[in-house]
Amino acid sequence: MRFAFAGAGFSCAVIARELAEAGHQAVVFEERDHVAGNCHTQRCSETGVMQHTYGPHIFHTGDEEVWHYVNRWGEFKPYTNRVKTQSQGAVYSLPLNLLTINQFFGKTMNPEQAQAFIRTQADTSIEEPKTFEEQALKFVGRALYEAFFRGYTRKQWGREPSELPASILKRLPVRFNYDDNYFSHRYQGIPAKGYSAIVAAILDHPNIEVRLATPFTPDLKPGFDHLFYSGPIDAYFQYEFGRLGYRTLDFQRAVADGDVQGCAVMNYADESVPFTRITEHKHFAPWENHERSVTYTEFSRECEEGDIPYYPIRLVKEQALLKQYLSVAEQEPDVTFVGRLGTYRYLDMDVTIREALDTAVGTLECIAGLRPIPAFFVRPL
Ligand code: UDP
């Protein structure tokens, strides 16, 4: 069969590769002039630093098959994400761990004492936390919530934490030991040559043709048996029911000498600081040596027409809109919606790859069983 792919990020690259290896033809349309979507990396010509053009990406997964899969396409160097945060004039360690708790409260507690102490801070009246705020108050209490989460979250999402789902905060662990690894997954790393080299390797197959700087347009569809679409689902339907809400990011990029902040990620929890974090990209590649440095200061705001969509908001209003798009998508013949934008979900890279591998298997099963390929292998609602 002949497949079209809209987008050259992880979703389409992985599906295209699997189908190409099974003997099918794939044409990948990508509107940007590079592959890898928002994971794109590019070496800075001035400093030699590998830059994460659309914000930092650290690969982490508990899925052994996905870890082996990505390692097939290039070397991953071990990397542990250790994040710092500035709050009320001091620097602390994230995720919240024993060092953060002891420093913040000026104490020297051991794990058991800290747990007992945090229980005295926590709001035990909250049984089943539904919102971000409830989740924080129940598990860490008001002082830590206000110091580390409330301001950052208001800046990042432009909404009250009492309106946001608890699932956003569940991404972050709270630890009663000194483990400051931001992620709890077994496997973690960053590709030695960057993410774009990995995606380019996945796409490097005689049955795959990649057309960069070529947006997928509906008139192209009749030339193919099926389309995998990883663009925004509302854009596919020309925003017929309105725009799904996203947050976008503005990056203020700066080149400097030496070491600017001494770490890869420094968050800024206070609301008086207009940005959410500064990332210094040479620290994402500690195996390299660079005299000069590149920093990205990150500002979050509501995504408007023409902006790059980053974080799907998915509150009640957006979910109702998404439902409308799902119903038309499910009637659209010969299209499968994939990935973060195609299914309007906040997806980490490893989940994206897992879903793409499963989508390819499911697609091959449909072809073998002469069944239509569904609009969604993972239905977003
Ligand atoms: N968060 C926070 N303070 C921080 C870091 C994160 O309040 O210093 C909240 C914020 O709402 C964020 C969420 O926790 O959106 C998830 O954080 P994560 O680091 O996973 O965000 P990402 O790196 O995906 O932007």
- CA 150 from chain center: how many Å? 21
Q: Is the dihedral of CA 115, 118, 122, 128 positive or negative?
A: negative
List, for residues 225-282, the tens digit of each pLDDT value: 999 999 999 999 999 999 999 999 999 999 999 999 999 999 999 999 999 999 999 9
Instruction: Strand 59-61: give its sheet, edge to edge.
Output: 59-61, 187-191, 76-78
Residue nearest to atom 2 of ligand 1 (CA): 149
Q: What is the mean pLDDT of the chain?
A: 97
CATH of domain 2-78+191-240+314-368: 3.40.50.720
> What does the pLDDT read at residue 19?
98
Structure tokens at 287: 């195996």
pLDDT digits (tens, 9 = 90+) for 39-78: 999 999 999 999 999 999 999 999 999 999 999 999 999 9
Helix/strand/coil percent split, the chain, to 5? 35, 20, 45
170 lines ligand 1 (CB under 6 A): no
The pLDDT of residue 377 is 98
- Phi first, then psi, for residue 205 (nearest 5°) are -150, 140
pLDDT category at 308 given cuts 50, 70, 90 is: very high
E strand map for 63-172 = 76-78, 83-87, 90-94
What is the end-to-end Cα distance of the chain in Å, rounded? Answer: 30
Choose one of 104, 140, 156, 352 to mutate for the ligand 1 pocket test, by most ligand atoms within 8 angstroms of C-beta: 156
The fraction of the chain above a pLDDT of 90, given in percent, is: 99
Q: Check pocket membership of 267 for ligand 1, CB cut-off 6 A.
A: yes
Question: What does the pLDDT read at residue 243?
Answer: 97
Answer whether 229 contacts ligand 1 (Cβ < 6 A): no
Quote the ligand 1 centre to 168 CA distance (angstroms): 7
pTM confidence score: 0.97
Cα 64 to chain centroid, rounded: 19
Instruction: Please identify every residue annotated as catalytic.
Output: 171, 175, 247, 277, 298, 346, 348
- Between the CA of 153 and the centroid of ligand 1 the distance, in Å, is 7
Give the domain ranges of the chain.
Answer: 2-78+191-240+314-368, 102-168
For residue 379, give both structure tokens.
């239905």
Of residues 148, 172, 161, 144, the one with CA closest to residue 269: 148
Report the nearest atom of ligand 1 relative to the CA of 169. Answer: 14
Specify the residue for token string 């960069």. 212
Q: Is the CB of 145 under 6 A from ligand 1?
A: no
Query: Nearest-5° angle of CA 119, CA 125, CA 129?
Result: 90
**338 phi, psi to nearest 5 deg:** -135, 160
CB of 152 within 6 A of ligand 1: the answer is yes
> pLDDT confidence of 18, banded at 50, 70, 90?
very high
Mutate to test the pocket of ligand 1, among 172, 188, 265 (most ligand atoms within 8 A of CB): 172
| Total count of residues recorded for the chain | 381
Residues in a beta bridge with 2: 25
Contacts of 7 by beta carbon, 8 Å cutoff, 6+ apart: 28, 29, 30, 37, 216, 229, 230, 231, 339, 341
CA–CA separation, 321 and 364 (whole Å): 31
Please indicate whether residue 266, judged by its CB atom, sits closer than 6 Å to ligand 1: no
Q: Is 94 in the pocket of ligand 1 (CB under 6 A)?
A: yes
pLDDT at 131: 94
